[in-house]
Structure 1
Amino acid sequence: MVYALAIAALAVLIVVHEFGHMWVARRCGMRVEKFSIFFGPVLWRWKGRQTTYQLASIPLGGYVQIAGMNPEEALPADDPGSYQHKPAWQRFLTILAGPGINYVFAIGLIFALVLIWGQPRPLIAVAEVMPGSPALQVGLRAGDVLRRIDGVPVKEAVDVTVAVSSSGGRPMTIDLVRGGRPQVVRVAPRSEDGVYRIGIRFAPVPAFERVGVLRAAGYSLAYPVVQSAGMLRMLGKLATREVSAKQVEGPVGIVHQLKLSFESGAAAAVLQIALLSVCLGLFNLLPLPALDGGRLVFLAIEIVTRRRVSHRVEALIHTVGFVALFGLLLLVTYSDLRRRFG
């Protein structure tokens, strides 16, 4: 049941993202032909006046099909609903709207959370201890709040990841709080596939402070900026190999993380969904082929030079990018499953 809630939450984020594309496309007079939640074989389909809405079976994303977005599509030269016949700025806004609404959605969730529960001050806690892991052997438990590792304060999850992966296997001192009482444990990370781990999954456990509406609004508006900056720092650490790519979570890990947050309570679940909404928005803004960010690069070139990049060249680049990203997604999913089931 909790896993079903987690998958439903992921579906909501995809719906929000694709709705952003569809809403702006329609405002610009484009014809939206299909709105799909997930990929693969269709489980449910409904035909609207202009748009077919469908739910597919593979929860790896979703898409909006806009008339004329595929340059190879045969459409009348004067088709007013074609993506290709719209000004570059309208096409730019249509692509930008998906990631943009993910940020707006996160702001709304955080604003509601702060008004209901208070402003969160996340504490990094152990959500799960893996069987046979070094963490289990030294007595770490779910619910332990991590405060310091070798004297360095733990402010966000990446602090734990970096400390463990760069330890070289030497024993580490972890200051934690269990049931309101401070404790200290020593744990030696173990190398698995060349990556040092102690065998825990962690999640932010929010402590709340009641604040007024103005402070809630300020915190909410700053939230996606702060979280995006943290994610970009994490990408930088991946690029410099301070953090191994094998520790990146794929769809399986994301759903499991959502499941753990639902088990921690409504406030933790809302916080996790808001974080994932920012993550989805930022990921799609990366200037990589097949992602929204890659399409925005081509549109920016067109706006600046007032000349379109060859349809064939752009289509080829996006196709190669899609295949590469899908292959990477499969590898990350395989790594997730291997970590979980062994």
Structure 2
Amino acid sequence: MSLLITLLAFIVAIGVLVSIHEYGHYWVARRCGIKVLTFSIGFGKPLLKWQRGETQWQLAAIPLGGYVKMLDEREDPVAPEELHRAFNRQPPLKRMAVVVAGPLANFLLAIVIYWAIFMGGVQVMAPRIGAVTPDSLAGHAGFVAGDVVTRIDGRDIESWADVQLALIDRAAARVRSSVTVERPGGGEIDRILDFTDIDKDAIDGSLTSRIGMSVVAYRVDEPPAAGSPAQLGGMRVGDRPLAVEGRPTPDWPAFAAAVRARPGLVTRITVARGAQTLALTLTPEAVEEGGRRIGRIGAAGGPEPASLAGLRRDVAYGPVQALGKALGQTWDTSALSLKMLWRMVSGNVSFKQLSGPVAIADYAGQSARLGWVAYLQYLCLISISLGVLNLLPVPVLDGGHLMYYSAELLRGRPVSERVMELGQRVGVGLLAALMVVALYNDVTRLLTG
């Protein structure tokens, strides 16, 4: 059932996003007087097709994209009476409008969905730190449980999601970041997180956990199984894991992942027990799961009730304010996507952060299981990413065509066929390389959990 939900969520997401993107091209092309021959969702052999006006609409066999085919002398002969409707005969500004319309349609979709979400109300997590690992970057910076983050480098913070995105941005920039927090006892204080020497492999969605802070404090909430490594190693109900082999584990997922990575190995686990910090030594049992050998200690964890109090709150906005929030969210996400891409190229961020279709499908399934709002937010994120990617100045992408038409506008004549052909080869090579890296990352994530 879980696999079915994942597949359906992925197919719906790709279908909606590709349809919106291609419809942007189609709508502007028609307004510019260009004849559209085919509107296809998917590539390859058509599975379903129908004629509407002068355009053939179709669903094709390979669902990873789509295209709009316009009348063009470079592809097929064009009757003299229809030359004025051929794409290649249009002035550069019209061609640029058609090309940019696809990515803009993706941004517009995100804005509309975010607008509806913000008007209908969304549940957010307060930007309050629930747990801090003492021997970690956050711990050394002086953060304590209960701190409420209000600003990061002058940017106002409203939710824990804001904290995560802002810190990823600052870490990727390799800077010393000023974080303003409100202390439980009252008053504001600034803390400095020094990201200048952070490992680029640590800059991902788990960054807050990697630097030693979590929005919720986790603890062992059931007695460890009799005879289990946790019970034999002295772990008790109420213990809060802080680190595994010296690496911070401020939340239970991080702790579980660290244990799973050490099957059959003697392991030192640091826990907080009341006011004490203890070092326990145990050996995770080696078990087979999904064809992989993982470690298991026989302990179950859950959030501390005190860290959940007042953590979630419902927020809703009026139409005008919601539109402003939607525009801001779309802009911030677009800017962060561009920054992260550039920082991958410049070496500040690892290419391990690239995701391919397997990871995208997995995220689609996860968000669908969390409910409609989470799934719609996922659609917004992927739609923005699709828009940003297509605007990159890479031949074969919309941004590459914009580059050619801009050069034609400035030079007064088209770019030579030789240059365009060479650009196509380079563009295809770059995209193929990125896809190989993304698929490799997907497979690695599946194998390592």
Which of the five TM-score ranges fits, normalised by the shorter chain? 0.7 to 0.9
For the pair 1:185 / 2:242, whether they are aligned, the reply is: yes
Matches within 5 A, 1:25-40: 25-40=29-44
How far 1:22 moved relative to its partner?
Answer: 0.5
In 2, the alpha carbon distance for the partners of 1:263 and 1:159 equals: 26
2:86 is matched with 82
Asked whether the 8 Å contact 1:123–1:146 carries over to 2, the reply is no
2:76 is matched with 73
2:351 is matched with 245
Deviations 1:159-205 (A, max 9, x none): 3996664569xx9563324489896632549xxxxxxxx689xxxx9
Matches within 5 A, 1:331-342: 331-341=437-447
TM-score (norm 1): 0.78
For the pair 1:217 / 2:226, whether they are aligned, the reply is: no
Residue from 162, 168, 171 that aligns with 1:159: 168
What SS class does the counterpart of residue 65 from structure 1 fall into?
strand
How far 1:216 moved relative to its partner?
Answer: 0.6
Residue from 375, 380, 397 that aligns with 1:274: 380
Asked whether the 8 Å contact 1:99–1:282 carries over to 2, the reply is yes
For the pair 1:60 / 2:166, whether they are aligned, the reply is: no
Letter of the 1:91 partner, please give it: R
Quick check: 223-232 or 177-186, which moved more? Answer: 177-186
When residues 291 and 246 of structure 1 are mapped into structure 2, their CA distance, relative to the original with a 3 A threshold, is same
How far 1:111 moved relative to its partner?
Answer: 0.3
Letter of the 1:107 partner, please give it: I
How far 1:281 moved relative to its partner?
Answer: 0.5
2:117 is matched with 113
Q: How many residues align?
A: 307
In 1, the alpha carbon distance for the partners of 2:382 and 2:413 equals: 36
When residues 206 and 260 of structure 1 are mapped into structure 2, their CA distance, relative to the original with a 3 A threshold, is farther
**Where does structure 1 lack aligned partners over 5 or more consecutive residues?**
125-144, 190-197
2:214 is matched with 176
What SS class does the counterpart of residue 396 from structure 2 fall into?
coil
In 2, the alpha carbon distance for the partners of 1:85 and 1:308 equals: 11
Letter of the 1:263 partner, please give it: R
How far 1:286 moved relative to its partner?
Answer: 0.5
Residue from 145, 150, 156 that aligns with 2:137: 150
Residue from 408, 414, 436 that aligns with 1:302: 408
In 2, the alpha carbon distance for the partners of 1:338 and 1:105 equals: 32
TM-score (norm 2): 0.60
Asked whether the 8 Å contact 1:110–1:274 carries over to 2, the reply is yes
For the pair 1:47 / 2:51, whether they are aligned, the reply is: yes
In 1, the alpha carbon distance for the partners of 2:422 and 2:313 equals: 49
Larger Rg: 2
Asked whether the 8 Å contact 1:67–1:82 carries over to 2, the reply is yes
When residues 85 and 24 of structure 1 are mapped into structure 2, their CA distance, relative to the original with a 3 A threshold, is same
When residues 328 and 173 of structure 1 are mapped into structure 2, their CA distance, relative to the original with a 3 A threshold, is closer
Matches within 5 A, 1:6-21: 6-21=10-25
1:132 is matched with none
1:138 is matched with none
When residues 207 and 292 of structure 1 are mapped into structure 2, their CA distance, relative to the original with a 3 A threshold, is farther
What SS class does the counterpart of residue 243 from structure 1 fall into?
coil
In 2, the alpha carbon distance for the partners of 1:87 and 1:147 equals: 60
In 2, the alpha carbon distance for the partners of 1:102 and 1:36 equals: 17
Letter of the 1:272 partner, please give it: Y
Q: Cα RMSD between the aligned structures?
A: 3.5
Deviations 1:72-116 (A, max 9, x none): 533245512200111111111000100011111110000000111
What SS class does the counterpart of residue 80 from structure 1 fall into?
helix
In 2, the alpha carbon distance for the partners of 1:312 and 1:47 equals: 36
How far 1:47 moved relative to its partner?
Answer: 2.9
When residues 237 and 316 of structure 1 are mapped into structure 2, their CA distance, relative to the original with a 3 A threshold, is closer
Residue from 237, 242, 260 that aligns with 2:366: 260
Asked whether the 8 Å contact 2:71–2:86 carries over to 1, the reply is yes
Matches within 5 A, 1:227-242: 227-242=333-348
Matches within 5 A, 1:115-130: 115-118=119-122, 121=124
When residues 213 and 165 of structure 1 are mapped into structure 2, their CA distance, relative to the original with a 3 A threshold, is same
How far 1:339 moved relative to its partner?
Answer: 2.7
Quick check: 28-37 or 206-215, which moved more? Answer: 206-215
When residues 243 and 158 of structure 1 are mapped into structure 2, their CA distance, relative to the original with a 3 A threshold, is farther
When residues 147 and 179 of structure 1 are mapped into structure 2, their CA distance, relative to the original with a 3 A threshold, is closer
Deviations 1:271-323 (A, max 9, x none): 11111111110110000110000100111111122211123432442244134
Letter of the 1:211 partner, please give it: Y
2:144 is matched with none
